[in-house]
Structure 1
Amino acid sequence: MYNLGTGKTVGTWIFFYILMLQRTYSFSGFIKEPLDENQAEGDLTFFTCIVRELDETQYVSWLHNGHKISKNGEIILNTYAHYSIDFDSAFGSYNLRIQNVQRRDKGGYICSVYNSYDQIVEKSRTANFTVLEIPQQQYPICSSTKMSYRVGQNVVLNCISEKTTPLGSLRWVNTIGGSESGLKESLSGNYEKTYSFTAKQSDNREIFTCELTTSANPSLYRNCSIGPLDVLYAPVVRIQQTRDVILGNEAIFICYSDANPQETTFEWSFDPPISENMFVLENDIILRIKNTLSSLNGTSVLCKVTNSIGSGSSKLIVNVKSKEYINNVVETNNGKETKKSEKINERNENKPKNQNSNSNQQLLQTPSPNNKSRSTDISISLVVIIALGCIVVILGLALIPVGYMRYTRRQPSDTINRGRPVSIPDVYFEPRDHIDPMLPQLGLAAPWMRTVGVQVPGECEYDATYNTQVMPQPRQVYYTQRMYPASSL
C-alpha cells in the first residue's frame, strides 16, 4: 500500500510538473523588438514590442537600465509618469511611449516576458536611447572680466553655455577688429567662447551679442548681450567761434568736450596774455570778448579740459578783421578769389588820378556776369509774383457776384435740404385741394377741385371759394356751372 501510494504521489507531481513546463514555455518569441532611438529633449519617442502566443500566466514588462518600470499596460513607478503603454493583448503589442523626453530617459530599454513567479522568460534586444540635450533656458550667459576699461586696455568678453551632447554652437556677432577663440571648457564644467579686442573711444556705450544654436533643435535660437560697454578716456576738445572776429564787435568762442567720465574743469588761457576785463566766461564753456581790439589779432586761445582720466586741450588763433574788409564782396574768377573796387583802388594808388577815375568809372558802369544773372533772376521772379497776384485778385472779384447770387437765390429744394428757414410773405394764398360735398338731390359726388395760391402785394380780396357752401340745385345747372356739357352726363 505504501509503495502504491508513493507511486501515485510521485506520478501526480510529475504530471503537474510537465503541465507547468508546458504552460511556462508557451511563449514562442517576439514579432517585433525595440530599435535604437535618439530624440531631442522635450520631444516624443516610441519603442515597439510585439510578442507571439503569450500564455495567460505570463505578462510583459519594460526595463529601463535594468529597472522594471511597467507590467502589461501600466506604468508601476511614479518617477516615470510621463511614460505610457499602448497595450493591445489581442495583437500582442506593448509599445512604450515617452512624452516630453528628459535627459534621465537616456539609456537601454528591454521588452521582457515574465511568468507568474515574476521570473524572466524571455528578453528582447537592448534598445539604446540617446537624448539630444538642449542647453537650459538660462544659456547662453555673457560676461566680462571687468566693469570698465580704459582706452588701450585689452577687453575680454565671455560667452558661456552648458556642456551638452551634442555641443551647441556659440558665435559673437557684429564684431570687427577683434579675435574670437574656439570652444573651450570653463572652470565650472561648461564651455565658453571669448572675444577680445583693444578698447577704443568708439567702443564706449557699444553692445556686444553672442548667439547660441544647436543641432539637437535646428529651430532653436538664443542670444545674450553685454553692454553698454564702459570705456574711459580723457577729454577730446575743440574750440569753435560763432562768427568772424570783427574789430570793435563782440567775439564768442565755445569749448566743446567729449569725455568719459564727465569733465571736471575747464581752463582758458591766452598767448600773449590779455586783461581779465576784456572777456567774460559763461559756465566755463563759453568765452565772450566784449570789445575786440586790434591787439588781439594773432592771439592764441587755448581751452584745457580735465577729468579723472586725464586732460585734453584745443588751440585757436584769433584773426581780427576790419569792418571795411568784411564789407568787401569776394568774387570768384576762374577759381581764384579777387577783391572788388576798394582793393583795386588800393593797388592803383600810384597811377594817375585821371586813369584811376576812368578805371573806377568803368568798373562801376560795367556789371559783372554774376550781377547780370542775379538781376535777371530777380526781375523774372518779380514779374511772376506780380502776375500771380493779379490773377488771384481777378478771380476774387469774379467770385463775389457769383457768391452773392448763389446766396440770395431762393430754391425751395435747396433751402429745405440745407435746413434754412423759408421766408413767408405777409399776404399769400395757400394751395388747397378739396372735393365739393355730395349733392343729395343727384346722389353723385362732386368732382375734385384745386385752388392755386398766388402771392400778391398789399391787400387782396378774400377768396370766397373756401367758405362757399354748395346749395341744392338741379343737376343740369350744377354741371353747367362747372363747364361740363350736358351731353357728357
Structure 2
Amino acid sequence: MERNSNLKRHLCAIIMICLISELQSQTILSQPKSITKKEGESADFTVTLYEGDPRTTVTWYKDGILVDKYDPRITYDEEEREKGQYTLRIASLKRSDKGNYNAKCEIYSQGDINTQNAELTLIEIPAEKYPICTTWKNTYNIMDLVNVTCVSENINPQPNLKFERRKTNSSILSNETNIWISMEFRAVPNLNGQSYTCRQFGDRLSAEYCEITLNVTNKINVTILEQEDKLYDVGNIIKLHCIGNYSKRANFSWFINEKKDISKYSNMLEIKIDKDMNDGDNVTCKIIENSPEEGNASVSLRINSNELTEEEHPQRVCSNVEVHVSSIGSIIGLLATITVILITILLNLMYGTYHLYKIKKNKPDKLLVQHALLPRSSTRITTVSDDPPDSSIQESPENVL
C-alpha cells in the first residue's frame, strides 16, 4: 500500500509539471535571458506574454527576494504591456546586483505563472584608484633590499597584473580584498631615479597603469672587522674584512696610513706585522662603486712594541748597545784602577820585604852607630854600604866638625 501511495504522488507531480509547462508555453511567449554585463553598465530582463491584458501584473524577484522597485536604479518598464512585454531595467550595475532573476506574472484569467530564472553575470571593475604601485621605503641606501609592489582589487573575474619590461616570476597573491605582485632586488647607485610601471588588464577590461620611481642614495657605509681583537706582536698576522653596502661591481683598495697601497680588488686582507710598523698605524679600506660614489673605513693597528727583538727594531738595538758599551767601559775602568792600586801595594810590600831580608842577612851591625863615643860638640854620620870603599875618595878635614 505504501509503495502504491508513493507512486501516485510521483505521478501527480509529473502531471502538474507538465500542466504548468503547457500553461506557460501557452501563456509566455519569451522567457528572460541570462546576460553578462560589466560593472557600471545597465541590464535588462524581459518577459513577453502571448496576450496583453491590462489586468495582468508582473513582479520581479532576485534570488527569490522581491526587487525593490523604489530603488532609483530600478525601472519596471511596462510601456509595451499592450503587446504583453514587461521589462526589468537595472542601471549602474553594482556587484550586489549579480544573481538569478525571474518574473511572477499574475494573469487574470489563468492565475500566477513564474518565468524561468535568468542569471546576471557581472564583470567586476577595480576601483579607479587601482592599480597602486608601492615600495617599502621612500629612500634606499646602497644594497638595501628593495621591494616594489603592484596592488589591485580582488574582484571576479580576477584581473592580470604585470610589470612592464621587467622579468619577474612573482605569481599573483591575494586576500579577501586585494591582489598583488612584487619584485625584490638590491639597491645599487645606478637605480637612482629608475621608474617601474605596472599594467592592470583582463577580459573586457581596459588597461590601467601605475608607476613608481626609486630613490637610491650614493652613500656607501663601510666597516672593517678584525678576526681577533687583541694586541699583536711582530710576526703575527692580522686578518681584516671590509664589509659594507656595496654591490658585486664594487672595487676595493687598502692603504696603510693613507699612503701605501697594499692591496686591491678584494674585501679581505691579511697583514703580517713587521719591523716597519708601529702601534697606531691606520689601515684603510676604500670601496668605489661607480665614480664618484665611494666609501671608506679605517682601523688602528694595536702592536705590542715592548716585545720587539733586536733584529726587529734597529733604533732600539742601537740604544741598547750604547747602554751596554757605556756600562762595560765604566766597569773596566774601575777594575783597571783597582788592579793598578793592588799591584802597586803588592810591589811595595815585596820590595820592602826583600830589602829588609838582604840587610839582615849580610851586615846587620853596620846600622849601629855609637853616638856616645862622639864628641858632644860634633856629630858624625857614617853610612854603611855594601860596596867596597873607594880608595881614591878620602875624608876631607872640612867634613869633620
TM-score by length of 2: 0.46
- Bigger relative CO (Cα 8 Å, ≥ 6 apart): 2
Greater Rg over alpha carbons, structure: 2
